[in-house]
């Protein structure tokens, strides 16, 4: 409830100030979400999630702009986050099956006790 009150207060203050603002930048695949509101002409750098890197030829810098009376985020080279080949890859199904067979033979543990994968 407090969060809703704060959101209403911030939006009301922004509208009363007569300034132009952009809301949070749009979410792109494999990026860390950015929250908040930003003034017109603000620059924001978007980060790729862990295990991903910025694809060459794309930009992680976006800008709050006003065109035709509408404020929105603009970039000339939209960010694309791709898998980082130097990052350890998650195990495949075959690797999991092999690990399960080995773990139950040697320790009696279930595979759920061994693998922790976050995406």
Least confident of 20-29, 37-46, 90-99: 90-99
Domain with 47, as residue range(s), is 20-87
Alpha-helical regions (H) of the chain: 2-17, 93-106
Q: How confident is the model at residue 35 (pLDDT cuts 50, 70, 90)?
A: very high
Same domain, 66 and 112: no
* Burial class for 50, CB neighbours closer than 10 Å (0-12, 13-18, 19+): exposed
Q: What is the mean pLDDT of residues 75-88?
A: 92
Same domain, 104 and 54: no
Same domain, 27 and 40: yes
- Can you give the CATH number for the domain in which 28 is found? 2.20.28.230
Same domain, 57 and 96: no
Q: What is the DSSP letter of 30?
A: T
In 3D space, the residue among 51, 46, 17 whose CA is nearest the CA of residue 32 turns out to be 46
Given CA atoms 7, 28, 63, 74 in this order, what sign does their dihedral have?
negative
Same domain, 50 and 66: yes
Q: How confident is the model at residue 91 (pLDDT cuts 50, 70, 90)?
A: low
Classify residue 6: in a domain, yes or no.
no
Same domain, 76 and 108: no
Q: What is the mean pLDDT of residues 57-72?
A: 94
Same domain, 44 and 64: yes
Classify residue 7: in a domain, yes or no.
no
Output the pTM of the full model: 0.56
Pairwise CA distance, residues 24 & 35, whole Å: 5
């Amino acid at each position: 409830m407090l969060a809703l009150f704060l959101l209403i207060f911030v939006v009301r203050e922004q509208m009363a100030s007569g300034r132009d603002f952009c809301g949070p930048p749009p979410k792109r695949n494999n990026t860390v979400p950015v929250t908040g509101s930003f003034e017109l002409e603000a620059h924001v750098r978007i980060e790729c999630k862990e295990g991903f890197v910025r694809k060459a030829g794309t930009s992680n810098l976006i800008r709050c702009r006003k065109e035709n009376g509408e404020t929105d985020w603009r970039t000339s080279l939209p960010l694309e986050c791709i898998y980082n080949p130097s990052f350890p890859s998650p195990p495949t199904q075959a690797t999991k099956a092999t690990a399960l067979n080995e773990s139950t033979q040697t320790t009696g543990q279930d595979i759920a006790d061994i693998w922790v994968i976050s995406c």
